[in-house]
Amino acid sequence: MKLITARPGIVVGLVRLLVAALLVTSTPITHAASPEKVAPANPLGLPAKAVETGGSLIICGGGRTPVSVYDEFARLAGGKSAKIVIIPSAYKYSSTLVVKQRYAGWSRYEPKALDVLDAQSRDMADGAAFNKKLEEATGVWLGGGFQSRLAAIYAGTKAEATLRAIVERGGVIGGISAGAAAMSRVMIRSGRDEEIVIDRGLGLLEMAIVDQHFTQRKRLKRLLTAVEQHQDKVGIGVDEGTAVVVEGSRVRVIGSHNATVVLSRPNKEVSLHTLAASERADFVAAGDAAGKRFDLRRLAEK
């Protein structure tokens, strides 16, 4: 497999997916989408009202994450007026004390409120007591661990609906590693290359599939497989030490490395777009009759 890369810019190469072998072939680079094309309001399927209220997601690829990523989350949550909730449930910690020690660094932002909510069962995630603090939050951080555990506890519960409501009222939800993978409704639970297991995630992104530790764990093939199986979805692969901020039709990359966007094309082809740290782009209509395919247009850096 040969991928075309460049710094800086969006790299676009057409890749043909063969069902049996997942053989990838590239054609010459094409230009990014023309400025005349209209940006769809919500191509990645954020919760319905998020576009008008400015709600956002921060999708973090895991590993050693720069402070700038956490700084941006705290800013979007409201700075010192923020009410932040940490959900560490993707990993089974031995005690509440260990959890609080693990996430003690968040206190340096001096938010108005900082709480840890760690449901141990679906009944707990459905409970009024658990959701009360969540309903007041302006920002929620989903910790790393195992996305299968996170989804098993929260997917389809009242807590999931409350998380969506936070974004709909203009708040931010961030997730790192497993917490990032669980954001998409179609969630990669496990597997490598062509052998993957798909499960139900939290539905914060209805029209995207997220993968993390992307370049470091060589996960391009498995994301391509997931997009081949769900061709109406956009694939988003995020490197370690890197985050993608999703705001309506726009994405921007912060951190140390890259993000990869996989867009479906007719005849089981896809286009690959690499966004480097500090790059910004928006999704624009690709011009298909159904209006369900997109191009990615690079924006000038601020």
pLDDT of the residue at 169: 96
What CATH number does domain 13-299 carry, 3.40.50.880, 3.30.420.40, 3.20.20.10, 3.40.50.1370? 3.40.50.880
- 195 is a catalytic site residue: yes
Residue 117 identity: L
Least confident of 26-30, 144-148, 279-283: 26-30
% residues pLDDT > 90 (the chain): 75
CA distance 7 to 17: 26
Provide, rounded to the nearest whole percent, the portion of the chain with pLDDT above 70.
84
Q: Is 135 among the catalytic positions? A: no
- The long-range contacts involving 101-106, CB below 8 angstroms and separated by at least 24 positions, are 102/143, 103/143, 105/70, 106/70, 106/141
Catalytic residue among 56, 213, 230, 273: 213
Q: Are strands 258-265 and 269-276 parallel, antiparallel or unpaired?
A: antiparallel
Of 56, 89, 177, 264, catalytic: 177
What are the respective helix, strand and coil percentages of the chain, to the nearest 5? Answer: 25, 30, 45
Q: Domain residues of the chain, as ranges?
A: 13-299
CB 119 within 8 A of CB 126: no
